[in-house]
């Protein structure tokens, strides 16, 4: 059995450390576990690596990180860009600091300079640093909102966005060539430092990151007027957000920020939550208790790498707190930006809001009122980042705002990935502005529903673990393609977009048409329904799940 041969190779390899071998010896008789760890190699997907930590070819460890980095290094050298360097950062997960250093030293051993943060930082700050330092690429060690047993490795390119086609496939091919860890280079840290290859990122980079976010403020006078009465509760969920969030809010003028102490410090065990994900209401229980105690106006949470933002807002008449999902937060921020920029006379011509295909269509009539185009991209914030670069190169649009339903927003072009820190800054300002006007975020949302219609969205997921689960998901997607449903939730299916085949089926006539040029291929089915409703089905790109998205206008 091949997996046992690979297991034996790791046990006998001189380059595998003794602690790893000890872990492997402890599972010597567990064939299921050995097959899980060595039955395949961890796949470098379109966003990088993500998986459970542990020893083995199908686990996140120093060796799989080193092999992926060697492949990235080979690609960078082939581009003739080794001299530009690579920015490296990490979050609060177990192993993150070690993985980031291992990645940097592998690059250094290949003659590529690395710029590393001296402590954990949010993903959007890494995205900013790539462009600020003029790097060819960036590496972020994080598994985002996954459980404590996971870690991951995300690759960014020189535009500050995660890699997209065809570059992602080209990098994957280079990584696939590294079939054994002994072919991945490394060097000692002190040697790399003395050679000028391993460099620390200076404090001024973070200061510039904060400065760019603060430049997006539209009503700083509202913050000043409300500074001593507007109260914010914040939890970083044991992640990277504590220092940057509290520092930024203080710099902006918010004096009354309360941190949920039980969840304040970085901790890879995430001991107070089942999953460190602000999309899960349970993670807010401690923060809501604190909010009621201090009579807070707004409750915020970010995930471990602080690119996602969750929020509860206060409705003042009842004193109740209401959860905002990702669509609600996006709509409130988009409305605030467009409305206030128009009032201030700074709304750009040829402006664009970019959203993913599974994000609410409520933004379409909202943007139309302000003469702003809405541009759709596939699921994944990297496609929003890609559009920003495209706008810059072609001069076709001015990017105003980007968001996705999975609690990700970007309020400017300073970064090219979703930013929970930046989104929180503007959401706090908007809340203070509405409070000054005798209103609230919740009241404003109800006004928008009344004006544009109440768009109700929902997401259902099915977990399908292991190889059998992967095959089952494949069969489910194939079945939908071969036999498209005639109705969904009582509504007739009008069209089916198949993003893998690049076709659109008109279900009323049975005729096929091509999707537009330049749309990437992806295993996604999108069903247009009567009454402006829609349903989208896709396998998760990072977890063993199939996801069903649905929206209707009430």
Mean pLDDT by 10 residues, the chain (554 residues): 92 93 95 92 82 96 97 97 97 98 98 97 98 98 94 97 93 92 95 98 97 98 95 98 98 97 98 96 98 98 98 96 98 98 97 98 98 96 96 97 98 98 98 97 98 95 85 94 94 96 93 85 95 94 88 94
- Mapped onto helix, strand or coil, the DSSP state of residue 120 is coil
Asked if 64 contacts 72 with a C-beta cutoff of 8 angstroms, the reply is no
- Looking at the 3D structure of the chain, how many domains does it have? 3
Specify whether 193 is located in the same domain as 274: no
pLDDT in tens, 487-515: 999 999 999 999 999 999 999 899 999 98
| Residues 138/129, Cβ–Cβ less than 8 Å | yes
pLDDT of residue 46: 64
Q: Is residue 437 located within the same domain as residue 471?
A: no
Last residue of one domain, picked from the residues 132, 167, 201: 201
Last residue of a domain, one of 453, 480, 508: 453
Say which CATH number the domain at 251 has.
3.40.120.10
Range of the domain at 247: 208-453
The per-residue DSSP string of 121-150 comes to --HHHHHHHHHHTT-SEEEEE--TTS-TTE
Whether residue 5 lies inside any domain: the answer is: no
Residue after which a domain boundary falls, among 438, 453, 468 = 453
Confidence (pLDDT) at 543: 76
* 484 and 538 both lie in a single domain: yes
Given a contact cutoff of 8 angstroms between Cβ atoms, the answer to whether 303 and 263 are in contact is no
Please write the tens of the pLDDT for every residue from 85-97: 999 999 999 999 9
The CATH number of the domain holding residue 461 is: 3.30.310.50
Contact predicate 57/41, CB 8 Å? yes
Output the pTM of the full model. Answer: 0.95
**Distance between CA atoms of 66 and 72, rounded to whole angstroms?**
10
DSSP secondary structure of 344-384 = HT-PPTTEEEEEETTS-TTHHHHHHHTT-EEEEE-SSHHHH
Contacts of 490 (CB under 8 A, 6+ apart): none
Is the same domain home to 109 and 230? no
How far, in Å, CA of 514 to CA of 526, rounded? 14
Nearest to 431 by CA among 421, 419, 443: 443
d(CA 346, CA 340): 9
Q: Is residue 475 part of a domain?
A: yes
For residues 56 and 100, state if they share a domain: yes
Q: State the catalytic residue, choosing from 36, 92, 96, 144.
A: 144
Burial level of 511, CB count in 10 A (0-12/13-18/19+)?
A: exposed
Dist CA 456 CA 331 (whole Å)? 13
131 and 94 in a common domain: yes
User: Are residue 59 and residue 167 in the same domain, yes or no?
Assistant: yes
pLDDT given for residue 540 in this prediction: 85
Asked if residues 217 and 429 have their Cβ atoms less than 8 Å apart, the reply is: yes
Terminal C-alpha separation, the chain: 57
What's the pLDDT at 297? 98
**Are the beta carbons of 85 and 72 closer than 8 angstroms?**
no
Residue 27 domain flag: no
Same domain for 469 and 442: no
Structure tokens at 21: 């071998």
Residue count (the chain): 554
Q: Is residue 10 part of a domain?
A: no
Annotated catalytic, 289?
no
393 and 475 housed in the same domain? no
Residue for token digits 């086609």?
A: 165
Residue 171 located in a structural domain: yes
Q: Is 40 helix (H, G, I), strand (E, B) or coil?
A: coil
Between CA 339 and CA 342, with CA 341 as vertex, the angle to 5 degrees is 65
Please indicate, yes or no, if residue 35 is contained in any of the structural domains: no
Same domain for 459 and 449, yes or no, is: no
Pairwise CA distance, residues 244 & 204, whole Å: 14
What pLDDT shows up at residue 482? Answer: 94
pLDDT at 265: 97
On whether both 439 and 478 belong to a single domain, the answer is: no
């Amino acid at each position: 059995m091949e997996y046992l041969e690979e297991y034996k190779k790791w046990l006998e390899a001189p380059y595998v450390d003794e602690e790893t071998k000890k872990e492997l010896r402890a599972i010597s008789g567990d064939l299921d576990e050995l097959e899980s760890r060595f039955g395949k190699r961890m796949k470098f997907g379109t966003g990088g690596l993500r998986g459970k930590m542990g020893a083995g070819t199908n686990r996140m460890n120093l060796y799989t990180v080193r092999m992926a980095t060697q492949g990235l290094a080979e690609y960078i050298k082939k581009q003739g860009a080794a001299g530009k360097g690579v920015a490296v950062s990490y979050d609060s997960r177990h192993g993150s600091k070690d993985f980031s250093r291992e990645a940097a030293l592998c690059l250094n051993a290949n003659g590529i300079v690395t710029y590393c943060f001296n402590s954990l930082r949010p993903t959007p700050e890494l995205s900013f640093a790539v462009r600020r330092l003029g790097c060819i690429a960036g590496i972020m060690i994080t598994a985002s909102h996954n459980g404590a047993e996971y870690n991951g490795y995300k690759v960014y390119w020189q535009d500050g966005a995660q890699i997209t086609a065809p570059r992602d496939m080209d990098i994957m091919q280079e990584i696939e060539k590294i079939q054994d860890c002994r072919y991945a280079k490394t060097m000692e840290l002190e040697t790399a430092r003395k050679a000028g290859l391993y460099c620390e990122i200076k404090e001024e980079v973070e200061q510039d990151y904060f400065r760019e976010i603060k430049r997006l403020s539209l009503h700083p006078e509202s913050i000043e007027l409300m500074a001593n009465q507007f109260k914010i509760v914040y939890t970083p969920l044991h992640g990277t957000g504590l220092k940057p969030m509290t520092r930024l809010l203080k710099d902006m003028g918010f004096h009354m920020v309360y941190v949920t102490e039980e969840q304040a410090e970085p901790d890879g065990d995430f001991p107070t939550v089942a999953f460190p994900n602000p999309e899960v209401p349970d993670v807010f229980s401690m923060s809501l208790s604190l909010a009621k105690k201090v009579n807070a106006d707004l409750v915020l949470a970010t995930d471990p790498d602080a690119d996602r933002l969750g929020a509860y807002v206060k409705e003042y008449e009842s004193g109740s707190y209401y959860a905002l999902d990702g669509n609600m937060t996006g709509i409130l921020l988009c409305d605030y930006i467009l409305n206030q920029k128009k009032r201030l006379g700074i709304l750009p011509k040829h402006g664009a809001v970019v959203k993913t295909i599974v994000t609410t269509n409520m933004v379409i009539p909202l943007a139309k009122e302000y003469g702003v185009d809405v541009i759709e991209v596939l699921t994944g914030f990297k496609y929003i980042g890609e559009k920003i670069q495209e706008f810059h190169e072609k001069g076709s649009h001015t990017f105003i705002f980007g968001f996705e339903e999975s609690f990700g927003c970007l309020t400017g072009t300073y970064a090219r990935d979703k930013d929970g820190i930046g989104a929180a800054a503007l959401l706090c300002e908007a809340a203070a502005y509405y409070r000054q006007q005798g209103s609230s975020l919740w009241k404003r949302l109800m006004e928008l529903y009344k004006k544009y219609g109440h768009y109700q969205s929902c997401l259902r997921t099915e977990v399908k673990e292991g190889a059998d689960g992967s095959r089952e998901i494949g069969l489910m997607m194939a079945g939908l393609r071969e036999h498209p449903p005639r109705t969904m939730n009582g509504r007739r299916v009008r069209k089916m977009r198949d993003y893998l085949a690049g076709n659109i089926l008109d279900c009323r006539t049975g005729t096929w048409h091509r999707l537009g040029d330049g749309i990437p291929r992806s295993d996604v089915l999108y069903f247009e329904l009567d009454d402006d409703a829609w349903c989208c089905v896709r396998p998760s790109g990072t977890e063993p799940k199939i996801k069903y998205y649905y929206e209707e206008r009430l």
